């Protein structure tokens, strides 16, 4: 994209984003600009010192506390600015990231969630809020993704059901040019393929891809087990396939092999028409026989791991795929799509470490929701500004092509674009001095909320 066209696209996005902000919209927009150009975010109040934030620090906190963002309009705006380079099939990653709030006893709706690097009582769990993201991926070796939706998952809610509803809502507002191709949604091992399949039943254009444990078992069609018996109940499960026992593997339905610069020789095999045994609590509590959920089991084997990870031995990767077209999947697309899923982890790290997504110590989850939307809007502006900026490389840093700049490099120089773009936010008006708290009045003790533990 030409720099002039990219600049026009960025300017149009900023004005559309401003239209999504209603109550205290000017303060929220200037807070986003300050977040976009700040070197770091030690706390939200430091953003009021940025030149793009013309209001006081009190207006900043009031906007987070009492502002209103049209989340549905903003979701539609993000969906209409996709990330290019993903080919004819749109590929999206779905994953959950946790905002830790371990000591926030006055914050409601906290739950216990897994965290890889923080521990509580010797366990890798933290108390906080969980946010589920949908982000578009591409097949270029870079750390950019395009988050198009985010939703806070409450402790009592099932992550698989919320993911299915979130995907369906996204498909209803996806751009018209994507309706011709069935998008591929890539999930991680924490999601259950049976629940996702049941939740998206009736949406024939969807494709699911979920990483599986290596110890799972699947069953073929009962007709492959021989002629049916004349007595007893008809068979519901055919020959058993154990992922950990190659002697039980039948001949694959499809196979693919290729050479990759990072992974060496890649071999992909697929077995169609398999199904797992569904437990009683996975059958939605209905009486009668439990449902049979058929899909395609995919095995990915690589010769080596990419540079930087070769200290570990590569392990086999089991995937579950389901599509409504009735044809076998594109195996080359599947393994490459799952390899690119980890780009979303880079986005999470950048949002937390550089843009301060989990830095504010807000009390209420609604304030965290508003801050999350502002962070996503700022990150999208960084992505749109990449063709418009020149690299400002430090002497010890690697050189990059102009179209391969990282989010850190773009954020370093995006401040120069803001005067050229201008701001649709209205200038602040003096409102006088606040009278403050009446003399002799004391604040009541804040209510305490325990973190909720999710039960099976």
Q: How confident is the model at residue 358 (pLDDT cuts 50, 70, 90)?
A: very high
At residue 19, does pLDDT exceed 70?
yes
| Distance in angstroms (rounded) separating the CA atoms of residues 34 and 53 | 6
CA distances from 258 to 191, 268, 302, 333 (A): 29, 9, 10, 12
Distance from C-alpha of 354 to C-alpha of 36, rounded to nearest angstrom: 10
What does the alpha-carbon distance between residue 208 and residue 384 come to, in Å, rounded to a whole number?
Answer: 29
- The model's pLDDT over 36-83, given as tens digits with 9 standing for 90+, comes to 988 888 888 999 999 899 998 889 999 999 999 999 999 999 999 888
CA angle 451, 149, 146 (to 5 degrees): 125
Q: How many CB atoms lie within 10 A of CB 90?
A: 20
Q: Does residue 422 register a pLDDT over 70?
A: yes
Q: Residue 327: which pLDDT band, with cuts at 50, 70 and 90?
A: confident
What was the pLDDT predicted at 349? 94
**Does the pLDDT value for residue 452 go beyond 60?**
yes
For residue 19, count other CB atoms closer than 10 A to its CB. Answer: 13
Q: What are the residues facing 296 on neighbouring strands?
A: 272, 321
Name the band, by pLDDT with cuts 50, 70 and 90, for residue 18: very high
Q: How many Å apart are CA 38 and CA 51, to the nearest integer?
A: 10
Query: Smallest Cα–Cα separation from 320: which of 164, 214, 203?
Result: 214
pLDDT, tens only, 239-251? 899 998 999 999 9
pLDDT in tens, 186-216: 998 888 888 888 888 777 466 778 888 878 8
Please state the φ and ψ torsions of residue 152, each to the nearest 5 degrees: -80, 130
CA distance 10 to 5: 9
Rounded to an integer, the average pLDDT of 126-151 is 92
The per-residue pLDDT for range 71-121, each reduced to its tens digit, is 999 999 999 988 876 567 889 999 999 999 988 999 999 999 988 777 777
Eight-state DSSP code of residue 341: T
The two three-digit tokens of residue 123, written as one number: 């366990």
What is the DSSP pairing of strand 207-212 with strand 184-187?
parallel
CB 337 within 8 A of CB 91: yes
What local confidence, expressed as pLDDT, does residue 324 receive?
Answer: 66
Spatial CB neighbours of 201, under 8 Å, sequence gap ≥ 6? none
Report pLDDT for 437: 81
Q: Is the pLDDT reported for residue 359 higher than 60? A: yes
How many Å apart are CA 134 and CA 95, to the nearest integer? 7
pLDDT more than 70, % of the chain: 91
3-state secondary structure of 451: coil
What is residue 173's predicted lDDT score, i.e. its pLDDT?
83
143 closest CA partner among 324, 323, 348, 285: 348
> DSSP string of 237-297?
--SEEETT-GGG----SEEEEEEETTTEEEEEEEEEEEBPPPPGGGTTT-SSSPP---EEE
| pLDDT band with cut points at 50, 70 and 90 for residue 142 | confident
pLDDT at 21: 95
In degrees, rounded to 5, the angle at the alpha carbon of residue 162 between the alpha carbons of residues 121 and 283 is: 95
User: Given a cut of 80, is residue 414 above it in pLDDT?
Assistant: yes
């Amino acid at each position: 994209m030409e720099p002039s066209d990219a600049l026009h696209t960025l300017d149009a996005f900023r004005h559309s984003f401003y239209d999504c902000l209603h109550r205290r919209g000017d303060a929220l927009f200037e807070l986003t600009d300050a977040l976009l150009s700040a070197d770091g975010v030690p706390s939200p109040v430091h953003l009021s010192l940025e030149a793009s934030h013309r209001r006081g620090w009190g207006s900043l906190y009031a906007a987070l506390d009492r502002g209103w963002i049209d989340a549905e309009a903003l979701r539609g705006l993000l969906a209409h600015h996709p990330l290019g380079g993903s080919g004819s099939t749109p590929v999206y990653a779905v994953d959950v990231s946790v905002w830790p709030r371990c000591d926030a006893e006055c914050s409601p709706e906290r739950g216990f969630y897994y965290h890889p690097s923080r521990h509580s009582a010797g366990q890798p769990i933290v108390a906080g809020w969980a946010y589920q993201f949908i982000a578009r991926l591409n097949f270029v070796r870079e750390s950019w993704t395009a988050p198009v939706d985010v939703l806070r998952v409450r402790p009592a809610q099932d992550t698989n059901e919320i993911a299915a509803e979130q995907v369906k809502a996204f498909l209803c507002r996806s751009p018209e040019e994507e309706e011709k191709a069935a998008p591929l949604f890539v999930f991680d091992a924490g999601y259950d393929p049976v629940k996702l399949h049941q939740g998206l039943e009736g949406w024939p254009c969807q494709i699911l891809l979920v990483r599986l444990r290596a110890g799972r078992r699947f069953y073929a069609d009962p007709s492959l087990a021989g002629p049916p018996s004349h007595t007893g109940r008809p068979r519901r499960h055919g020959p058993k396939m154990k992922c950990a026992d190659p002697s039980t593997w039948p001949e694959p339905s499809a196979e693919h092999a290729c050479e990759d610069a990072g992974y060496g020789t890649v071999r992909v095999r697929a077995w169609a028409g398999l199904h797992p045994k569904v437990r009683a609590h996975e059958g939605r509590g209905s009486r009668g026989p439990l449902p049979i959920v058929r899909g395609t089991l995919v095995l990915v084997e690589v010769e080596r791991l990419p540079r930087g990870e070769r200290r570990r031995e590569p392990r086999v990767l089991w995937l579950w795929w389901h599509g409504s077209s009735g044809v076998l999947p594109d195996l080359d697309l599947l393994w490459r799509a799952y390899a690119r899923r980890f780009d979303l982890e880079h986005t999470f790290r950048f949002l937390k470490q550089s843009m301060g997504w989990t830095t504010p110590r807000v009390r209420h989850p609604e304030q965290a929701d508003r801050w999350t939307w502002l962070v996503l809007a700022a990150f999208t502006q960084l992505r749109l500004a990449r063709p418009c900026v020149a690299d400002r490389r430090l002497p010890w840093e690697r050189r990059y092509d102009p179209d391969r700049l990282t989010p850190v490099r773009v954020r370093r120089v995006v401040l120069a674009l803001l005067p050229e773009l201008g701001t649709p936010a209205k200038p602040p008006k003096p409102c006088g001095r606040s009278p403050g708290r009446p003399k002799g009045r004391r604040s009541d003790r804040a209510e305490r909320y325990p973190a909720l533990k999710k039960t099976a």
